Chain A
């Protein structure tokens, strides 16, 4: 993969140490209410990073700002050395971000197949887009293969979540952003989704940014950030997650 943008540092060493995602001094408002306060956060290459925090602290706001549904009042978002703070969501998807929103946002009156094919839109322009669904997508979630012609809106919540992740993977992202992928989903499917995310990381080596409440899933990550009232208040390797931190930041 070659970077076309000339302003980007291109020596191999620089590319390797460059973080996948680097966020500096992010301030986001909803009207006049200040939601994100001076957030710094980064995701290294191949890393899985988990953002934790209680309900309503601003985790989803953070994810929406990363994909470009919200624009920050100040601060910068840099993806692989390329500034994306002012890009529209579709350009960010093409720059390599795969987004699975909290509400899943399956397009309800398109079939499963069509929903999956929409995932191809993120591929850079010019790359040959065969309108087919590769096998590795079905290996992640075999259940999808059996119902390609059903409407997205008719799936159960768990199935929609699997579809949303599969759809994001269709675009071959280099950073996968997952906003509470296990929220409101029955325990057996939670394990399936967890296994799928782990297998994605193993097979493709992409970076993952995860918002999660299930402790078991949180522990799969390499690094955590804890958020409170719109600011990052703690961070570190997940193996160091102490009981106190868990008590304080997870709704367990």
Chain B
């Protein structure tokens, strides 16, 4: 084996420029593939992580489905989700662990002379902490009593604290939301950005303390967490039944509300991007094939040039197999060098693209590296096959006579 490797290195050295150009073909192809794979993998990973914050078994009841692929106007005339529907869902359920209304509005807030516009005010009940997986890491979350008695208390997101209080402790202070005073009882754990949105630019208040300004026609959402993850489907069916009853939807008619879940977003994402990714990979694949044709071309020339050498080797006892191995070692070496360099370049460039364009960290999984190397090795073998076969089948005498 070592002998064949040495021979291959020798052969590449003899025709330096030619070897470099052939290697470059594979290098470019593998670089492209690795960049594409790294970007796809990293984006997928990012999206999945972000979506997973929604909680995979949590369902959201909305007027509109999250993903609308057909006619939007069909959904427009639906009635908004109302508080009494939340109350109905809270009353007679068996599979549901927690239910919370979820009313989201953008409002102006202020503290003393500081005024901030466009802050998300989120009205929920006490259980939303568990449903949404959020908690106060300074101060506290509100109590059931505070919700029931419509206390004007609030839990602030980190960005809001920074905008209104700078470094001062906000606990116990009174801020104004839309002109109404609310007492700060807690600060939310920092969550950072998601898809470019600042998730800390929000204020959570008891939904009962929102009625003063939140009677808007837009209605609310309802968030529900099942008793156990495997109850999600049953909970969905139960909620559907309850809502249809409350809304007096006739049997056979379509639902006039939407039950949303995280996997819908993931499915949509995959559906929307899958085709594009496939196209990108096909393009990369084509460049790899072109690289392979380059190797084959060069090897055919090289085999012809070395006809006499092959004749000499055969005359002293080289079998067909050893000639095959010699030529294949050469193509494998070419494609491996191209493949390994391409992998390195691909990972680096992929990392730069992700960092600059998306501010994401690159995911370089072993499978990507294996796929990259595997493909280049495969191309090396396949493109070497025919030249190797031609070389191996040369007749010793005719090969020796070749000038």
Asked if chains A and B come from one complex, the reply is no
A residues at B contact (CB < 8 Å): none
